Amino acid sequence: MPRIGKLIKHFDGMHFRMASKSHSCFVSQLAKHMEKCNSKPKPLPEYIKENINVIDNNEEIKVNLGTLSDEELLAIIARVSKIHSEYVGELPVSVGRHPVLETTLASLTESRGSWRHVFQSSSILYNMAEVGVLTSGETRSTYVEFGSGRGQLSYAVGQAVDLETDALLMIDKSSPRHKHDNRYKVDGESHASIHRVRADIADVDLGQVPLVRNDTRRLVGIGKHLCGAATDLALNCLYRANNPNGLVQGVCIALCCHHQCTWRHYVGKAFFKELNLSQTDFAILRAMTSWAVCGSRQAKEHSEAVQDNEVKTSILPGRYAAMGLDIERRENIGRQCKQIIDRGRVEFLSSWPLQAKLLYYVEPDISPENVLLLAHAS
């Protein structure tokens, strides 16, 4: 009898019922059915290796800020401000527009969300071009977009480079509809330089992906709003592909969702250890990153309250008000926590070695998550 592994859910003497589909077949027809059954597990490609980009398996620590005393919380805040002043400082602002997206921007209404997304992509391309990691025909590059979704950023990059010499590789664990890379199809055939890998970033051995393994193009990692731990997985994925040949020539990732960062994936552990910050300290900073957007959240709640004709006697949590932590101060502390976490990523990239930095690539009214991690070869 053919081996069908986990596909068997129930056998009643006459039928096998499959676990992933509500269908069954006669035992006598099982072998033939298994040759064509879409529910049959497919062999994994050699570049898929479970959790290859996960740094360690430490159990995650979660800290509820409500369990800290006022004195403990204020002491941590003071330490955060000192570290931020010494190791991060004020981030530069580098807002620009890349000419390849000007026509698209002109066709959209400025107040709409779609315009904001395209504007963010335009500024990302602008900053990539400024440091020489977005070129057209000058060098042969493969642009790897992590968490690509529909591939909007890759599509923009594809318009700015020469796809006769450059290539695009999109990595995402889902397969959304209306992918932007479909716009490159001619007579139903995809462009030879455009590739997709459907997999979790944690499991991708980038150096074994055929496009990378069988080619000598330099690698440039990109991402737009790559949430939390996904950024660290992407950086470690690039790091593994980079050594020992130094293939990675640039990284450009718009950061977000620091409250979803995890210690087991975080690439900046060495930086935290240098500052005598522990895994518990990381958990506290991660919890405080949510303060960075408390003002916008409060504004939304206030707007909804006005619409409902509600009267709020206080818009500040009583504890924070008593501690002198108003919305503006908490927002600033939250941003500092985010940027300290990001500074660890800068230090990680600098060890490759790449020249890495953080900058504001759009104004906060375009997106409150407006920090770009940008790195390039010397």
Secondary structure string (H, E, C) spanning 95-164: CCCCHHHHHHHHCCCCCCHHHHHHHHHHHHHHHHHHCCCCCCCCCCEEEEEECCCCCHHHHHHHHHCCCC
Output the CA–CA distances (angstroms, integers) from residue 32 to 24, 35, 124, 256, in the order listed.
13, 5, 52, 49
Strand 141-146 and strand 167-172: pairing?
parallel
Give dist(CA 338, CA 294) in Å, integer. 14
pLDDT at 298: 52
149: left (phi over 0), alpha (psi -120 to 50) or beta: left
**Residues 116, 366 contacting (CB under 8 angstroms):** yes
Q: How far apart are the first and last CA of the chain?
A: 60
User: 195: helix, coil or strand?
Assistant: strand
| Residue 341 CB contacts under 8 Å (≥ 6 apart), including other chains | 258, 261, 266, 268, 282, 285, 286, 289
16: left (phi over 0), alpha (psi -120 to 50) or beta: beta
- Tell me the two tokens of residue 238: 């690039």
Diameter of the chain by CA atoms? 76
- Tell me the two tokens of residue 68: 């800290």
Answering whether pTM is above 0.95, one says no
> For each of the chain's 378 residues, which pLDDT tens digit applies?
444 444 444 455 555 544 345 577 777 777 787 777 777 677 888 999 999 999 888 889 999 999 999 999 999 999 999 999 999 999 999 999 999 999 999 988 876 778 999 999 999 999 999 999 998 767 789 999 999 988 899 999 999 998 888 999 999 998 777 787 777 765 455 567 889 999 999 999 999 999 999 888 899 999 998 989 999 999 999 999 987 677 899 999 999 999 999 999 999 999 999 999 999 999 999 999 999 987 555 544 444 433 444 433 344 468 888 898 999 999 999 999 999 999 999 999 999 989 999 999 999 999 999 999 999 998
Give dist(CA 272, CA 251) in Å, integer. 22
Output the CA–CA distances (angstroms, integers) from residue 188 to 22, 83, 182, in the order listed.
32, 54, 9
pLDDT at 36: 76
| Residue 236 CB contacts under 8 Å (≥ 6 apart), including other chains | 53, 54, 55, 265, 267
Nearest of 142, 162, 143 to residue 153 by alpha carbon: 143
